[in-house]
A and B are shown apart, each in its own frame.
Chain A
Amino acid sequence: MPDPRPSTIDAGEVERFSALAAEWWNPNGKFRPLHKFNPVRLGYIRDQVAARFGRDTHAARPFEGLRILDIGCGGGLLCEPMSRLGAEVVGADASTTNIEVAKIHAAEAGVSVDYRATTAEDLADAGEKFDVILNMEVVEHVADVELFVKKCGEMVKPGGIMFVATINRTFKALGLAIVGAEYVLRWLPRGTHQYGKLVRPEELDKALVGAGLATIDRTGVTYNPLSDRWQKSRDMDVNYMVLAEKAA
């Protein structure tokens, strides 16, 4: 997923990025699985942030005054909702292409997000701090989970929280998330996930502790083929989300 090539964006490229933006945001296109997945993770984030920071989920802009980082933001599928909910949002992605795509869509949608083509390490080293960090579907792609989580942890303000969503390393996950989603249903391109890089909850907990964070909530996420919806579940064998906090 990361595309570290440095690129200078010229006018000729804008058209290509616009086409890519349309693809990212087409609910029936290549990124359909992410669109389908979005409501359940948005709901989890909203409810947990509201509970931790004492916000009313029915308010027009419940995240007003919160600074949120979405690491590995892709085309901005999470950043834009966070911004609409009132947060000050930084969207970071190592891929310059993704960042340009996200910028174009945010401008079209009239949503304000600070998109940056950068990495968690560089942001942490620059001393950036956030109330909430979203680390969704990223840890299973990084080279060194412990180092990555540690760098993200440095950016969480005391009393702040970090969400991590990923895929468990179980035979069920191998069957459903890799063989099922990539080879049978073709929801994702082949090779999106490598079994060996998947992360078990206890490994994630360990990495979080190493980053000075404590896990305070976790939930499985499962797909219901009848309703064609993702929903929270106690079953953490495949997809799961973890919430960790830094002591105030």
Chain B
Amino acid sequence: MVTRQSDDNKSTQLDVLVAGAGYVGLATAVSIKQARPNLHIAIVDAAPAEVWRKDARASAIAAAACRMLDQLGCWEEIAPEAQAITSMVITDSKTSDPVRPVFLTFDGEVGTGEPFAHMVENKVLNGSLRRRAAELGIDIIEGVAVQAFEAGVAGSKVHLADGISFDVKLLIAADGVNSKLRDMAGIKTVRWEYGQSGIVCTVSHERPHGGRAEEHFLPAGPFATLPLKPTKDGVNRSSIVWNERTEDAEKLVNGDPFVFEIELEQRFGLQLGEIRVEDKPRAWPLGLTLARAFVANRFALAGDAAHGIHPISGQGLNLGFKDAAALAETIVEADRLGQDIGSLDVLERYEQWRRFDTVRMGVTTDVLNRLFSNDIAPIRAIRDIGLGLVDRVPRLKDYFIRQASGLTGETPRLLKGDAI
């Protein structure tokens, strides 16, 4: 007789356990549960409860991800806090150039009245997805790490650090670019370092931004300003993503705040009046990390755990949402066919679906970054011609807009705003 492992010691049965309560993990769990209420799903996160409320970062949510949030019952709650990006300007310049030549301008609408992206603070996004998860009956276990797991024939036994264990059909790792679960599963990564860091902070400014985003390709790397919703007291704000060589970035964020503001002002310009740094700037080392496999038996990677990309084109969140939507659709369809949702032949469909897209996007942003982050005249000339061409050829520009809004490739249903 074959005895099931769960008979030996008590452990809870789950269909899906998601590790990581960031927006990718939450969106994946909510997407599956909403379509298949019969599946038992829980989320576990190593971070202590309430820490997510302190995340000061904001993310650009492309039109496709926005449609998905609407389908998941979250957008209505997020919308009042979201700042639509109604236009985007891209320039290529040296910091010292008095006037920056504009090479590419976008009027940011994908369809009538639908902006191609919104800026939303992570805590707002996270809060709304958490509210929806609770509504659907998804448990979120906080402050506990996954310590180990063993994949077997019919399921995976997952042990948490507090001694609790689960028998799950499928374990999804959405635990970020330095995914511990990915390492435990023995999945290797390919990593390119840029020697660059992204400085992130929020600034307030005198005059309103009018929903305009700007991206300046400076020699050290791109400098982007992204419009945020004004505060309740009417303070105008923008989010800054500023790339510098890692050692310079460290000096800037750890040095004199006054020096930081001066350096920032040089790049930000004074067109919006006086500026002020609103929070402690932080620097994140940039790199491109790609997992060699996205799935293993009873195991799938989603979001940054599968692919951490350079934030140059603001595609991190949107690729993560695409993973969530594709993984959820794969699992829901398999469950509707009576298939074992954690089996490798089901998971391989997700891998096949997402890998090509991810690698292409990873390589595109990598090439863009290498192309733009230098000051060699011939290269500047080439890229200027390139950008100028893009602006002049409507179909190419359309492609860029659609790419930036996440609407190309074999699109998962949720990203089109349809139910799974």
Contact = CB atoms under 8 A, between A and B. Distances in A.
A60 B38 contact: yes
A42 interface: yes
A97 B4 CA distance: 22
A84 to B, nearest CB: 4
Contacts of B54: none
A105 interface: yes
A42 B154 contact: no
Contacts of B38: 60-61
Interface size range on B against A = 10 to 19
A108 interface: yes
B36 interface: yes
Interface string A18-41: 100110010110000001101100
Interface in A41-55: 42-43, 46
A237 B403 CA distance: 40
Interface stretch (B85-93, B257-265, B286-294, B336-344): B336-344
Contacts of A39: 334, 337, 339
Interface in B15-49: 35-38
Contacts, number: 59
A28 to B, nearest CB: 7
B153 interface: yes
A103 to B, nearest CB: 9
Interface string A106-120: 011110000000000
A104 interface: yes
B338 A108 contact: no
Contact of B337 (A43, A104, A110, A228): A43
Contacts of B339: 38-39, 42, 81, 84
Given A27-B344, A228-B352, A108 B4 contact: yes
Interface in B299-342: 334, 336-340
A230 to B, nearest CB: 12
B153 A42 contact: no
Contacts of A85: 337-338
B4 A58 contact: no
Nearest to A86: B338
Given A25-B153, A108-B2, A81 B345 contact: no
Contacts of A27: 343-345, 348
A82 interface: yes
Given A108-B2, A108-B154, A110-B4, A42 B337 contact: yes
A35 B338 contact: no
Nearest to A58: B336
A85 B336 CA distance: 8
B346 to A, nearest CB: 9
Contact of B154 (A43, A83, A109): A109
Given A83-B338, A107-B2, 8 more contacts: A27-B345, A35-B345, A38-B339, A39-B339, A84-B339, A104-B2, A105-B153, A108-B2
11 contacts: A22-B153, A25-B343, A28-B344, A38-B345, A39-B339, A42-B339, A46-B336, A80-B338, A82-B338, A84-B338, A108-B2
